[in-house]
Structure 1
Amino acid sequence: MDVRRAEERYRGGDPAAGISSLHAFSFGPHYDPDNLRFGAVIACNEEWLAPGAGFDEHPHSHTEIITWVVEGELTHRDSAGHESVVRPGDVQRLSSAGGVRHVERNDGPEPLTFVQMWLAPLTPGGDPSYEIVHGIADSTPYAVPEAGAMLHVRRLTAGERTALPDAPFVYVHVVRGEIKLDGEELGPGDAARITDAKDWEVLAGSPAELLLWEMAAG
């Protein structure tokens, strides 16, 4: 298990424009050849957007983009004609495939916090696609077959335990709360990268929300 702390993340964004970002992997000008990916995950970005702030239209290709809103509302528009508002509890997936452009904004009255994770597809190219699942139930897995991955969202009460998937690669991101994993205490923004996971479990020290990626290949 490789634990990465919140304070180790690369700082980005544009604070003057109301955008703050923290990157868990090599990203943009923060190039780290030893931190390019884990399993299929190539980015795990924590984003904060002030009301009225956002990312203007920009391109993506050959990437599975999964977004989880923590607080506030995210407005999404893309060049394939999809437009939606993503709220806490929703899972949004944009499969950029051979190429797509999109806009992400905080058009709501409150600050927006979201986690966005990028996964490398097993096969590049193809046609872009979009999906949003509103109010995904706790422990309901969300499959991203294009990347050979499965997302598990867990919301735990204090003292509750949950098993991690048995898989070649498991990525754990703590959205909120405090947990204990194999003797290590993790808090908001902390992450664990586990190889060959088998019979692992998490203990919540406080009410917690976790994003768990189960992946077959790296």
Structure 2
Amino acid sequence: MSTLLTPRVDIRRADERFVTDIGWLDSKHSFSFGRHRDAANTHHGLLLVNNDDIVTPGTGFETHPHRDMEIVTWVLRGSLVHQDSTGHSGVIYPGLAQRMTAGRGILHSEKNDSWRIEGERHAEPVHFVQMWVVPDETGLTPGYEQLEIDDELLGGGLVPVASGMDRHDGEAAIRIRNRYAALHAARLEPGRSVPLPDAPFLHLFVARGAVELEGSGPLGTGDAVRFTAGGGHRVTATEPAEILVWEMHATIAG
């Protein structure tokens, strides 16, 4: 596929994102989302949503539906309480990989219940990134999976968080139902670097901190890069940083 594509490195700065700020929610959208529509910015590869959300204590997303989407949630700070119509519930926190398969239809809620868990004095906002990719097929059975991978992140390299690719069998923390996509994460101390995968489509998101992208210069918190027909660049932390990298070997038709 990459031989048919024009190599491109497209840097998107944090302050260029769509913003939804409604008091209890401060959400920054890398792609068209909700009332924010831009026909030229609907997806990259298989990734349709990369929402950078902060939710205040005691609030959150009430029960709402999803369909035919693989939804991965990655918490950076605080904790998020998940409940869904399949009977799954749990608390998502930093270092815990979580995936929800919406399939033929699911209802779920996401709340910052830190005040219930820790008490009023210790309540804090929850900061998380929620990412959506399309599944291989529609009408799948809804499902949920989560797994602690904090120890793997201590190594400082790119760690598979969620994948549907065969080469990650037995390696990725959780499985998604798309055989052409994988999400990686890395926590980097200053001076530590990692090479990005080679793929027809790659999405790098600086979730926190600051890094230097080989050949392109500095990136800060909230910055993103969309690679086409490329990869292999090194990312080096210039301050403590956390990055999320989607490796994709297909794109959405049309």
SS at 2:159's partner residue? coil
Long gaps (5+) in structure 1: none
Is 1:31 the counterpart of 2:37? The answer is yes
Aligned partner of 1:112 in structure 2 is 126
Aligned 1:91-130 pairs, distance under 5 A: 91-108=97-114, 109-130=123-144
Q: Rg: which structure is higher? A: 2
Aligned partner of 1:8 in structure 2 is 16
Q: State the alpha-carbon separation in 1 of the partners of residues 22 and 147 from structure 2.
A: 30
Is 1:71 the counterpart of 2:77? The answer is yes
**Structure 1 residues 143-152 or 59-68, which shifts more?**
143-152
SS at 1:26's partner residue? coil
Question: Cα offset for 1:135?
Answer: 3.1
Shift in CA distance, 61/169, structure 1 to aligned 2, threshold 3 Å: same
Aligned partner of 1:41 in structure 2 is 47
Q: State the alpha-carbon separation in 1 of the partners of residues 72 and 230 from structure 2.
A: 23
Alignment deviations for residues 101-147 of structure 1 (CA, whole Å, 9 cap, x no partner): 10000000211111101111121111011101113422331343222
Q: State the alpha-carbon separation in 1 of the partners of residues 185 and 108 from structure 2.
A: 25
- TM (normalized to structure 2)? 0.82
Q: State the alpha-carbon separation in 2 of the partners of residues 61 and 20 from structure 1.
A: 24
Of 194, 198, 201, 2:227 maps to 194
Question: Cα offset for 1:180?
Answer: 1.2
- TM (normalized to structure 1)? 0.95
Question: Cα offset for 1:199?
Answer: 2.6
Q: Percent identity?
A: 43
Contact (CA 8 Å) 1:88, 1:135: kept in 2 or not? no
Q: State the alpha-carbon separation in 1 of the partners of residues 232 and 84 from structure 2.
A: 41
Aligned partner of 2:118 in structure 1 is none
Alignment deviations for residues 15-57 of structure 1 (CA, whole Å, 9 cap, x no partner): 1xx1111111001111111001001100100111111010000
Long gaps (5+) in structure 2: 1-8, 115-122, 165-176
Contact (CA 8 Å) 1:11, 1:23: kept in 2 or not? yes
Q: State the alpha-carbon separation in 1 of the partners of residues 99 and 182 from structure 2.
A: 12
Shift in CA distance, 62/166, structure 1 to aligned 2, threshold 3 Å: same
SS at 1:7's partner residue? helix
Aligned partner of 1:161 in structure 2 is 193
Contact (CA 8 Å) 2:28, 2:53: kept in 1 or not? yes
SS at 2:202's partner residue? strand
Contact (CA 8 Å) 2:97, 2:162: kept in 1 or not? no
Determine which structure has the larger helix proportion and give its number. 2
Q: State the alpha-carbon separation in 2 of the partners of residues 134 and 168 from structure 1.
A: 29
Aligned letter for 2:56? A
Aligned partner of 1:144 in structure 2 is 163
SS at 2:15's partner residue? helix
Q: State the alpha-carbon separation in 1 of the partners of residues 194 and 250 from structure 2.
A: 23
